[in-house]
């Protein structure tokens, strides 16, 4: 079974062809980061326009690299939400046109289900499975008992991890996106500033990063007022240590409590080198299997949408021509379709 998948939820225009839900035949990503950099973040209107300009080229390349045509495709999958509505619409309209023209099923996919299923391109899932989702807009612990079914057992109450990275980076005067910049700086610094860790109530798997973000910003402002020069690398290292401590500890506890067999990480922040190392260490002597996807599958791509789309395809979930971009699509409800 060949699925052609399209992803345009944010600032990556992407298309991929996936075989049987776990094999990448082709995977093309056109990033718009350079266009958004000077604004310090993603500008929705610019993102939509870039998607319109890029989508046909990206699709063509995905077919060329696979040495296939639309006639070889069994179903067309696309990110239905969540994301920027104007950006999503470009992918949704394109997938509808393709599915209609070639008389093949249309499959709407949840973007976070996609991030999770990026892992299935590397390793088969073992259930129960726990996914730590850490991206630009989401920070969640998701429990899965079977394919295509999702229970959110913890989530951020304010900022997402990636959002905190990007905002702290911006205050530090680092370019967008800030995650990779802080990751790079953190390796050269010392965790010598005592930033808070938000553990929340006993037993809670929820997260909170706004207090940490404010603490970093206040420290920067106070130092500036007093004329003290702080090492950027130390701020990065201390901030990152705080984020990682909480992410790793809560993931570990949730894995124990739910007796899972498999732990995976997903989303752009899963590319963080400190987080990857800390998780590997924490789970090294544990029975549970830990999967960490390659960097290219952590950030937005269409291969992951194809992998998740295959599950919907097997469940018999078809979208109709009335499918719309849904910026607020709910993960659990998507799984219950
Ligand atoms: P969502 O998936 O929640 O809709 P998104 O698609 O915008 O949001 P992703 O593309 O999955 O998010 O991830 C982008 C985020 O990942 C950005 O916030 C970026 O700073 C962060 N990021 C990327 N690489 C790293 C890294 N090495 N360390 C920390 N953060 C990183
Ligand atoms: Mg992105
Ligand atoms: Fe994403």
Element (H, E) at 22: none
320 pLDDT exceeds 90?
yes
258 pLDDT exceeds 90?
yes
Q: Cβ < 6 Å from ligand 1: which residues?
A: 9-10, 83, 111, 115, 135-138, 162, 165-166, 177-180, 183, 267-269, 271-272, 299-300
Sign of CA dihedral 108, 113, 114, 119: negative
| Residue 287 three-state SS | coil
158 pLDDT exceeds 90?
yes
In angstroms, the CA 4 to CA 135 distance is: 24
Alpha helix locations (H) across 193-302? 210-226, 232-257, 273-283, 295-298
Please choose, from the candidates 309, 274, 332, 284, the residue with its C-alpha nearest in 3D space to the C-alpha of residue 144: 332
Q: Over the stretch 47-58, which tens digit does the pLDDT of each residue have?
A: 999 999 999 999
In ligand 1, the atom with minimum distance to the C-alpha of 267 is 11
In angstroms, the CA 269 to CA 183 distance is: 10
Please choose, from the candidates 118, 117, 51, 111, the residue with its C-alpha nearest in 3D space to the C-alpha of residue 78: 111
Nearest CA to ligand 1 atom 13: 268
Binding-site residues for Fe cation, please? Answer: 111, 115, 300
CA of 279 to the centre of ligand 3 (A): 21
295 falls in which pLDDT band (50, 70, 90)?
Answer: very high
Q: What is the pTM of this model?
A: 0.97
The two tokens of residue 273 are: 């080198």
316: region left, alpha or beta (phi > 0 left; psi from -120 to 50 alpha): left
* Contact predicate 143/260, CB 8 Å: yes
34 pLDDT exceeds 90?
no
Nearest CA to ligand 1 atom 29: 179
CA of 105 to the centre of ligand 2 (A): 27
DSSP-assigned letter for residue 156: B
Please choose, from the candidates 5, 189, 17, 10, the residue with its C-alpha nearest in 3D space to the C-alpha of residue 114: 5
Q: Work out the average pLDDT over 192-209.
A: 96
In angstroms, the CA 287 to CA 285 distance is: 7
* Contact predicate 2/68, CB 8 Å: yes
Q: DSSP assignment of 88-147, as one string?
A: HHHHHHHHHHHHHHHT--EEEEEHHHHHHHGGGGTS---SSEEEEEE-SS-EEEEEESST
**Residue whose CB lies within 8 A of the most ligand 1 atoms, among 8, 136, 139, 161, for a mutation test:** 136
In angstroms, the CA 56 to CA 10 distance is: 17
Does the ipTM surpass 0.85? Answer: yes
38 pLDDT exceeds 90?
no
* Contact predicate 193/219, CB 8 Å: yes
pLDDT of residue 272: 98
* Contact predicate 61/15, CB 8 Å: yes
In angstroms, the CA 238 to CA 235 distance is: 5
Q: Work out the average pLDDT over 163-180.
A: 95
33 falls in which pLDDT band (50, 70, 90)?
Answer: confident
In ligand 1, the atom with minimum distance to the C-alpha of 177 is 20
Which ligand neighbours the alpha carbon of 305 most closely? 3
User: 142-169: buried (b, 16+ CB within 10 Å) or exposed (e) per residue?
Assistant: bbbeebbebebbbbbebbbbbbbbbbbb
* Cα–Cα distance list, 217 to 170, 190, 251, 326 (Å): 10, 18, 27, 34
In ligand 1, the atom with minimum distance to the C-alpha of 274 is 28
User: Which residues lie across from 289 on neighbouring strands?
Assistant: 262
Binding-site residues, please? Answer: 111, 115, 133-137, 166, 179, 183, 272, 300
């Amino acid at each position: 079974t060949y699925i052609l998948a399209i992803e345009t939820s944010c600032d990556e225009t992407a298309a991929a062809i996936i075989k049987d839900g776990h094999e990448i035949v082709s995977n093309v990503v056109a990033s718009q980061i350079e266009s958004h950099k000077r604004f310090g973040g993603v500008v929705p209107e610019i993102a939509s326009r870039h998607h319109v300009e890029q989508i046909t080229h990206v699709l063509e390349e995905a077919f060329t690299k696979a040495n296939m045509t639309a006639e070889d495709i069994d179903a067309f999958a696309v990110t239905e939400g969540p994301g920027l509505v104007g950006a999503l619409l470009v992918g949704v309209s394109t997938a509808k046109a393709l599915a209609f023209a070639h008389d093949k099923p249309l499959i709407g996919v949840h973007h976070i289900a996609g991030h999770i299923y990026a892992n299935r391109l590397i390793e088969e899932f073992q259930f129960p499975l726990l996914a730590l989702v850490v991206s630009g807009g989401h920070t969640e612990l998701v429990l899965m008992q079977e394919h295509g079914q999702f229970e959110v057992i913890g989530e951020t109450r304010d900022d997402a991890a990636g959002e905190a990275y990007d905002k702290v980076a911006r205050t530090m005067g680092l370019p967008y996106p800030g995650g990779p910049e802080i990751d790079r700086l953190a390796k050269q610094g010392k965790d010598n500033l005592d930033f808070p860790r938000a553990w929340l109530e006993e037993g809670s798997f929820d997260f909170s990063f706004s207090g940490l973000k404010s603490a970093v910003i206040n420290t920067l402002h106070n130092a500036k007022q007093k004329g003290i020069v702080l090492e950027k690398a130390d701020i990065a290292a201390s901030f990152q240590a705080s984020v990682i401590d909480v992410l790793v500890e809560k993931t570990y506890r949730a894995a124990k409590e739910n007796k899972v067999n498999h732990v995976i990480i997903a989303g752009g922040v899963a590319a963080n080198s400190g987080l990857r190392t800390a998780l590997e260490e924490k789970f090294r002597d544990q029975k549970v299997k830990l999967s960490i996807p390659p960097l290219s599958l952590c950030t937005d791509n269409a291969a992951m949408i194809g992998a998740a789309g295959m599950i919907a395809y097997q469940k018999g979930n078809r979208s109709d021509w009335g499918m719309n971009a849904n910026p607020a699509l709910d993960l659990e409800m998507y799984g219950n379709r």
